[in-house]
Structure 1
Amino acid sequence: MSSAPVIVLHQPRRLIVGVGTIGEVGPWAGEIASTLVIATPITSGFVDRLQLPGKVSLFDSIPGEPDIATLDAALAAARDARPDLVVGLGGGSVMDVAKLVAALWDGEQVLADVAGPNKVAGRKTRLVQVATTAGTGSEAGIRSLITDPVKGSKIAVESPHLIADLAVLDPELTYSVPPEVTAATGVDAMAHCVEAFTSKRAHSMIDGFARMGFSLVGRYLARAVKDGSDREAREGMMLASYYGGICLGPVNTAAGHAIAYPLGTLLHLPHGLANAIVFPHVLAFNQPLVADKTAEVAQALGLGKGLSQADLREEAHGFCAGLGIEMSLAKHGATEADLSRFAADAHAIRRLMDNNPADMSVDDVLGIYRSAF
């Protein structure tokens, strides 16, 4: 892996980690007149714990894969509320919408103006991200992904103006996350770390965060799935997720995420689940080009030493299946006829595919979907 000569690392201005730390948001915010909290119907139950002063408005119509209509509705809610502070209280979907709402509600720019890197003009409204899952690491990052339902693809916005002023990792908020969601989001966090670690754009500084992230997953994910109130495991997974979010900024993901995206946009699978299904196949596919790093990942996850490509795929598959994840695309409603459309769409996501250590043809991608079928 040749290191990229320059990386730029953005992190939240302030990060608070620990049980009960959601209660720090209000005191941190100080004397403010109006807050807009973006949440889901489930995470809106945590709003009172934020201890916010002043008027609090709630927008909780965030689906699993937020689309342009979701963002427009959230922006309309913000224009009604005129907030001094926007709080994202949820998983990656919620936090991605919160970033764009804080940056766009009081300006002239619309989503089409800011798509791509570094097009957001600025942000006057303060932004707090309170993670309620351990998966996307969105609270750490400068990216937001919104689905375009017409094209069936994701619009990526990337800007330093999307970084949080305050990020809160309170493991207590994840105690009630069900085992299957814990498992899938945990594998997503791991995939962020592993894909950045093995990327063509890998960088020794980011490798450090990646190693911490996938090692924590190896240590704690099975425990968090088995016992949702295991505080040490929940906190470990929140840190793994955060480290994964840091990996996304300067290095980003690669083929794994590109191949997972059509499963979200077209098959409507949750993002973490899509990543879990794809993970063993991409890890094994890339092994010949990044053998040493792949061996490090395999050891951290307890998959074994000196594995052949076939054994690696089988062990990684077993790791995910052992967490209770249904690994067959057919069982999730995919048909054989869908796979070539998925492959064409995934192969076209060059912003990620071009990071992959091994070049993949459309047929290679199709082969991975077939293996996962």
Structure 2
Amino acid sequence: MHVLTDPIEIQQPPVLHFGDGTLARLAPWVAAQGHRRPFVVTGPGNAARLDLLGLGTPACFAGAAPEPELHDLAAAVRAAEAAEADLVIGYGGGSAMDLAKLVAVMAGQGLELDRISGPGRAPPRRAGLVQIPTTAGTGSETGTRALVSDPATRAKIATESPHMLADMAIVDPRLTHSVPPALTAATGLDALAHCAEALTSKRAHPLVDTLALEGIALAGRYLARAVRDGADAEARAGMALASLRGGQCLGPVNTTAGHALAYPLGTRAGLPHGLANALIFPHVLAANAAAAPQKTAQIAAALGLAGTGLAGAGDGLRDAAVAFCRGLGIEMSLGAHGVSRDALPQMAQEAHAIRRLMDWNPVDLSVADIRAIYDAAF
């Protein structure tokens, strides 16, 4: 883990609007920038409320799936090119915003994803980019990384580039008020996992620790409230900020084993990203406790789990964290969500191979260790 004197770089959109009603800033900004052909990347639900953007009837790709695949990306790029888009707007959850990043750098450039995937290979984009989250979970609006799945290999392809950083992000918590309780819980736990994994990562940094700790505290204070009452404006704003803080942790530090174990649950079992992370979060938190006892204690205290057993007593912490998630209405058994026990060995191999995340986990987890975590979560 880094110390305060170690250098670190944090990249963020140059313009960030946060708070109720800030969506109204979009249309004046678009006009001031001279954009004439905005193109919205979103899912079916948000496609029905494009009017909230104040842009009339912009061209739109409404096929952003919860776990977008290569064919979704190709279709979105074709639609943006047909619209001659000069501004791409990601409007939705992480899948829509990730697709928007890739569309913005690929449209009109004759590029396939394999030519730009990985770190620092994407070219300067020809279109503007705005990100507008409608859930409180991924924090993708602030970042430079995008993920899409390859259906042939069942692997997630990561692309990262400063050219995928938005010109403006608008976090208007009112857009999340209509999110149903189950999705509120799952996406909120994804935001919590971003913060917890960044805090305990081998490349954790004190500058990012402050963001992660704030995000964890916000989730501990507001997530249950947002699940109970979607119209609780303070709780929705608190979770929007928790999600934002989690996103700000991803660029300079990123996630670790929790997300690595969650990815195969999405690509092989079809679980939504937030739910997959919710199911894994308590188990990886406990597995890492002995290697990061002080920071794990801070996480436990923020979630009201203090005294449940930390280093050397991971089962107590795991059980308490599972109970915390169940209290949000989440069924915490992999089997209850259609995951096949027969698939666990292959998923353990695939999770172990995601070295860009696993190498930074505070504990070196073997394939057998990962299989044991899956078995415990089953």
Structure 2 length-normalised TM: 0.96
Work out whether residues 308 and 316 of structure 2, in 8 Å CA contact, stay in contact via their aligned partners in 1: no
Q: Distance in 1 between matches of 2:55 and 2:340?
A: 48
> 1:108-127 maps to which residues of 2 (within 5 A)?
108-127=110-129
Contact 1:39/1:62 (8 A) holds in 2: yes
**Which of residues 346, 365, 372 is equivalent to 1:367?**
372
Task: Give the corresponding residue for 1:11.
Answer: 12
Comparing 106-115 with 180-189, greater Cα deviation is found at 106-115
* Aligned-residue offset at 1:286: 0.5
Do the aligned partners of 1:27 and 1:52 also contact (CA within 8 Å) in 2?
no
- Give the match for residue 154 of structure 2: 152
Q: Distance between the aligned counterparts of 1:170 and 1:189, measured in 2?
A: 16
Matches of 2:265 and 2:137, distance apart in 1: 17
Give the letter for the 1:28 counterpart.
Answer: W
Q: For structure 1, which runs of at least 5 residues remain unmatched after alignment?
A: none
Name the SS of the counterpart of 2:224 in structure 1.
Answer: helix
Per the alignment, residue 25 of structure 1 pairs with: 26
Describe the SS at the equivalent of 1:42.
Answer: helix
SS of the aligned residue for 1:156 comes to: strand
Give the Cα separation in 2 of the matches to 1:81 and 1:108: 16
What are the Cα deviations for residues 227-271 of structure 1, in whole angstroms up to 9, with x where unaligned? 001000001101100110111101010000000000000000000
Q: For 1:138 and 1:144, how far apart are their aligned partners in 2? A: 8
Q: Are 2:45 and 1:46 equivalent residues in the alignment?
A: no
**How far does residue 84 in structure 1 lie from its aligned partner after superposition?**
1.5
State the distance in 1 between where 2:330 and 2:13 align: 32
User: Secondary structure at the residue paired with 1:155?
Assistant: strand
Q: CA deviation at 1:3?
A: 3.9
Contact between 1:137 and 1:241, CA under 8 Å: does it hold in 2? Answer: yes
Matches within 5 A, 1:289-368: 289-305=291-307, 307=309, 308-368=313-373
Alpha-carbon distance between aligned partners in 1 of 2:44 and 2:111, rounded to the nearest angstrom: 28
1:180-199 equivalences in 2 (<5 Å)? 180-199=182-201
2:69 aligned with 1:67, yes or no?
yes
Tell me if the contact between 1:328 and 1:372 (Cα under 8 Å) persists in the aligned partners.
yes
Q: What code does the residue aligned with 2:88 have?
A: V
TM normalised by structure 1 equals 0.98
Q: Counterpart amino acid of 2:47? A: S
Q: Distance in 2 between matches of 1:336 and 1:97?
A: 32
Task: Kindly provide the CA deviation profile for residues 16-65 of structure 1, in whole angstroms up to 9, marking residues without a partner as x.
Answer: 11112212111111143211011111011231121126x61011011110
Matching residue's letter, 1:41: P
Match of 2:260 among 258, 261, 271: 258
- Cα separation, 1, equivalents of 2:362 and 2:227: 31
Greater shift in the superposed pair: 251-260 or 297-306: 297-306
In structure 2, C-alpha distance between the alignment counterparts of 1:131 and 1:122, rounded to whole Å: 23
Deviation at residue 106 of structure 1 after TM alignment: 1.8
CA contact (8 A) 1:8 1:250 kept: yes
Q: Deviations over 1:277-336 (max 9, x none)?
A: 111110001000100000000000111236231110011000001100111011111222
1:206 counterpart letter in structure 2: V
Q: How far off its partner does 1:109 sit? A: 2.6
Check conservation: 2:204, 2:253, Cα contact below 8 A: yes
**1:238 alignment partner in structure 2:** 240
Q: Which amino acid aligns with 1:325?
A: I
Partner amino acid, structure 2, of 1:266: R
Alignment partners' CA distance in 2, 1:66 and 1:330: 23
Q: CA RMSD in A?
A: 1.2
Partner letter of residue 314 of structure 1? D
How far did 1:124 drift?
Answer: 2.3
* Deviations, residues 129-179 of structure 1 (Å, cap 9, x unaligned): 110000000001000001000000000000111111111111111111010
Hey, what does 2:106 align to over in structure 1? 104
Partner amino acid for 1:190? L
Amino acid at match of 2:203: R
Amino acid at match of 1:250: P
Partners of 2:225 and 2:129 in 1: how far apart?
32
- SS of aligned partner of 2:66: coil
Q: Gapped runs of 5+ residues in structure 2?
A: none
Q: Which moved more, 1:350-359 or 1:106-115?
A: 106-115
Indicate the larger mover: 104-113 or 336-345.
104-113
| Offset from partner CA, 1:333-367 (integer Å, 9 cap, x none) | 12221110110110010000001000100000000
Which residue of structure 1 aligns with residue 287 of structure 2?
285
Counterpart residue type for residue 76 of structure 1? R
Find the residue that maps to 1:197 and give its secondary structure.
helix
Residues in 2 aligned to 1:23 and 1:43: alpha-carbon distance in whole angstroms: 16
The count of residues paired between Structure 1 and Structure 2 equals: 372
Q: Aligned with 1:8: secondary structure?
A: coil
Q: CA separation in 2, counterparts of 1:200 and 1:16?
A: 32
Q: Which of residues 77, 92, 95 is equivalent to 2:94? A: 92
